[in-house]
Amino acid sequence: MTQADVIVVGGGVIGLTTAVVLAESGAAVRVWTERTAAHTTSAVAGGLWEPYRIAPREQAERWAVEAFAVFARLAERPAETGVRMVDGLQAQSGAGCPPPGWAASVPGVRPATAAELPDGYRSGHRMRLPLVDMPAYLDHLTRRLTTAGGTVTVRTVGTLDEPACEAPVVVNCTGLGSRELLGDRELTPVRGQLVIVENPGITEWFVDADEESAEPVYFFPQPGRLLLGGTADPGAWDTTPDPAVADAIRRRCARVDPRIAGARVLAHRAGLRPVRSEVRLDREGDVVHHYGHGGAGVTVSWGSAARAAALVTGD
């Protein structure tokens, strides 16, 4: 489809990436979003490339590997894109744990030595992954979209009939909003809370590999700050940061790196991951549905957006 008129509903990382793919392929694209990118759940994300709380797993990992290649290229221009390639450690409490399933597609993954493991961890893997500074990256996506001729309009959408009246194709990237917009009760919020502190000199990221934990432990060095996480609270809708939870997050992270204990707190953040039994990516008449990416929207964004764009164009 050439010069198609498409409205993408939703201005988070999935909506913006889909819009960029379509616009840079020649389509006339408008994004309608309830809030600016800086105020979406995507802006709260930690930003490490890692397939997390997303299904179906095999498909998500394929999308993630495709996106990895794009992020690696973007990391060649970190000041412009907000993307860097950063070394880090994924650690497990059990001994002899295998590497993640996607490790074979990521260069340089290797077992961690005993000396590289923090107290309480018995195995792990070192790797170099894309780390995305989300506010800067969302600005980058918005600039790319407008450069390609696309537009972003802040407005609410009560029904998909509204954009359908103005464009022949609509792409629904509303994330958790599809629970009310479509009545999709498969969507469940999984609340995540972060603590942002002054970086005491940490240059590498850390992730506890227990994906099922309600109290995941991770920290990511972003420009001018260190992000500490986190939580995974299914069914929790409140995005007000909890001080007691914030204190617990700091304590867990400080057990991994004691320098964190004395770091000055800069801010608190909380957001809702749009978790679903599996990502919805299908075409229903003139509407392409593209939502439910759980905790991996950034990670799979380019691979997933390419599939959504193919559904729009019929390729």
* Average confidence (pLDDT) over 182-210: 96
pLDDT at 246 over 50: yes
Q: Specify the residue for token string 């998909």.
A: 160
Query: Which structural domains are found in the chain, ordered by start?
Result: 5-313 (3.40.50.720)
Taking 50 as the threshold, does the pLDDT of residue 232 lie above it?
yes
Is the whole model's pTM more than 0.85, yes or no? yes
- Percent of the chain, pLDDT > 70? 99
Write out the two tokens for 263: 């770091």
What pLDDT sits at residue 209? 85
Helix (H) or strand (E) holding 268: strand 265-275
pLDDT at 2: 39
pLDDT at 3 over 50: no
Q: What's the confidence (pLDDT) of residue 4?
A: 54
Give the pLDDT of residue 255.
97
| pLDDT score for 251 | 97
Are the C-beta atoms of residues 287 and 164 closer than 8 Å to each other? yes
293-to-14, 123, 136, 182 alpha-carbon distances in Å: 9, 29, 21, 16
Q: Are 109 and 125 in contact (CB under 8 A)?
A: yes
